[in-house]
Structure 1
Amino acid sequence: MKNLKIKGFEFESCKEKIPYSLIHDSKPIRLSEEMTMALELLLWYVPNINSMQSSKNELVSSMDFDDFVFGICKEKMNLNNSDVCFLDDISPDVVNFYLKVLCPRDEKLILTRALNESKTDSLLRHIRNSIAHGCFNVVSDLFIGFDFKSSANKLSECSAIIKIKPQNLLKALLALEDEVTSERLAQIALQRTGYYVEKFGKYDSSHSFDFFVKKDDKNFALEVKKYNGFETLPQDEVDKLVRQFENISKDLIPILFINTSLLTDKSKERLLQEKIIILDIKNIKKMLNKRDMIGEIVKDSGAL
């Protein structure tokens, strides 16, 4: 233990470790309801996997919002920064620390990443691999899994060690569908820069927008738009956006959160002429770092 050191990561110090084996005593292994549901989600339903049942979620694999998405997973799994590390490789000493005895406290993730792989995609890939290859067990109320390279029933290089509670894993997997959304991303970015945010219907049920947003003496109507089927938006879609913001209260400043790669220069100019603030991915990233891009845009555009 004294020779094990990973910067920023805390190994468990536990006197009463539980011995275990990766070989299951009873076959099939008895799993809790939470673990069974987590397995089903991992196999068929989590975003961006090769399954007919899997939905597409660009945020999960986005390197731009890597920390945002993985941060939600960590929160749901009750993990601190000191419980998680990403390494280029995992030494045999670290593997041996977890392989045959287990501290029944403290959930931990030790992961490697493929090139340009998001942290969340790495986590999902390694958990699925450990389950698919049978390199896991459930000890007390903890799932312990390893992602080994294997050949001829021999285990070699380890690329991940996962020690988590099944119920917390389930919470994280469900959050990928419910909370890892563009709407949630926009809401968090706004709140981090001091804006009050609520569902627009609570403010005014006669118009359909995603959020009513307020800061100081400025009120906003914010709409989040996702267009997976377009490379660039055709003119009729731009016209629809303009019409959506027509006839709203003069006290409201319209905001459109959209991937600006979808907009031609002509479309951007049209929206700006209609005094619609355009928030793009770069602006949202800056707001996640507590820079008030809406305030800057309002200040710079004297017409608003």
Structure 2
Amino acid sequence: MPVNLKKFGFEFETCEEKVAYSIKHEDKPLKLSEDMTKTLEYLLWYVPNINSAQSQENELTSSLNFENFVFGIIKNYMNLANKDVAFLNYIDPDIVKFYDKRICPHSQKIILTKSEGESKTDCLLRHIRNSLAHGNFNLVEDMLVGFDYKFGPGGQEICTGIFKIFPKNLLSGLSSLDEEVTAEGLAQIALQRTGYRLERFNNEDRDTSFDFYVKKGSKRYALEIKKYKDTEVLSEREVQKLLDKFSGLYESIIPVLFVNTSFLKKETKEKLKKERVIILDIKNILKMLEGRDILGEIESY
């Protein structure tokens, strides 16, 4: 039995029906179904935030603030429990031996080393991509088994990642990211978890509209979600556009701005507050995802 990882919440599987396998491909190329070929191609080239010209960026997938929330979505789609996943600083050779040559084809496990500043989801996708790109993988029934290695001092190979997963479940999770792991999606989930109802904003009497009409009891809010790239501080022009949009437009509806507050100068925040605009930032959304009604708290303060 390999080293004890219970302090990380990880449990090694017990299995009397382990299946022998080899990382070496006897058939070259591997004989794959059409579905599995597409799955591996997607994991190799098209998942977000990997070193591929075909990969698209997903800012929230890479966010350390939201990493547990995002990775939680992935785990749910993959049917993984906390005991099935470990992020370590170092993978002991005994762990590698435990999964080398014979595995349980029913129990999924992920053991990875994570770089500083890297989110859990980005870490998983990076190790899978490296394993596929370097050929350190094989299929055992419908399970994808892979190892990621790097060269250490003296040219010695060091294992930095081990996974055995059902890749179709991972793809289902990844396809959900575009729908769920967006600023818009997170704001929706956070508000719904704290008892708010959301509708698409539609005000035909105005030239301008917000992203969502938000309701809870007698309270009414207009939610605007702003995402800015390559911006350190909002320009005066953009600030004025926000002020013009919010200023005195709605008597019975309170404007709410969801924005990364690092983009806002102190003076900008004060101007928005004078217009009765509630500002929600990432920290607020994280608290709301945990069930705390920050929007109500801010208004009653």
8 Å contact kept, 2:44–2:132: no
What SS does the aligned partner of 2:210 have?
A: coil
Q: Which residue in the other structure is 2:118 paired with?
A: 117
What SS does the aligned partner of 1:130 have?
A: helix
In the alignment, the residues of structure 2 paired with residue 244 and residue 38 of structure 1 have an alpha-carbon distance, to the nearest angstrom, of 45
1:282: how far off? 1.9
In the alignment, the residues of structure 2 paired with residue 143 and residue 122 of structure 1 have an alpha-carbon distance, to the nearest angstrom, of 17
Matches within 5 A, 1:110-189: 110-149=111-150, 156-189=157-190
Moved more, 242-251 or 14-23: 242-251
Taking structure 1 as reference, are residues 34 and 9 closer, same or farther at Cα in structure 2, changes over 3 Å only?
farther
1:298: how far off? 0.3
Matches within 5 A, 1:92-103: 92-103=93-104
In the alignment, the residues of structure 1 paired with residue 290 and residue 215 of structure 2 have an alpha-carbon distance, to the nearest angstrom, of 19
Matches within 5 A, 1:59-78: 59-78=60-79
Q: Percent identity between the aligned chains?
A: 57
2:4 is equivalent to residue 5 of structure 1:
yes
What count of residue pairs does the alignment treat as equivalent? Answer: 295
Taking structure 1 as reference, are residues 35 and 173 closer, same or farther at Cα in structure 2, changes over 3 Å only?
farther
1:250: how far off? 3.1
For the aligned residue pairs, the C-alpha RMSD in angstroms reads: 2.3
8 Å contact kept, 2:44–2:133: no
8 Å contact kept, 2:91–2:159: yes
8 Å contact kept, 1:60–1:180: yes
Moved more, 205-214 or 17-26: 205-214
In the alignment, the residues of structure 2 paired with residue 110 and residue 12 of structure 1 have an alpha-carbon distance, to the nearest angstrom, of 13
Match of 1:234, as an amino acid?
S
Give the unaligned 5+ runs of structure 2: none
Taking structure 1 as reference, are residues 40 and 205 closer, same or farther at Cα in structure 2, changes over 3 Å only?
farther
8 Å contact kept, 1:223–1:255: yes
Q: Which residue in the other structure is 1:18 paired with?
A: 19
What SS does the aligned partner of 1:208 have?
A: coil
Match of 2:85, as an amino acid?
V
In the alignment, the residues of structure 1 paired with residue 29 and residue 36 of structure 2 have an alpha-carbon distance, to the nearest angstrom, of 14
Match of 2:273, as an amino acid?
L
Match of 2:5, as an amino acid?
I
In the alignment, the residues of structure 1 paired with residue 107 and residue 156 of structure 2 have an alpha-carbon distance, to the nearest angstrom, of 26
Following TM superposition, where does structure 1 have runs of at least 4 consecutive aligned residues deviating by more than 6 angstroms? none
What TM-score, normalized to structure 1?
Answer: 0.88
In the alignment, the residues of structure 2 paired with residue 233 and residue 4 of structure 1 have an alpha-carbon distance, to the nearest angstrom, of 51
In the alignment, the residues of structure 2 paired with residue 142 and residue 163 of structure 1 have an alpha-carbon distance, to the nearest angstrom, of 6
1:138: how far off? 0.8
In the alignment, the residues of structure 2 paired with residue 233 and residue 131 of structure 1 have an alpha-carbon distance, to the nearest angstrom, of 42
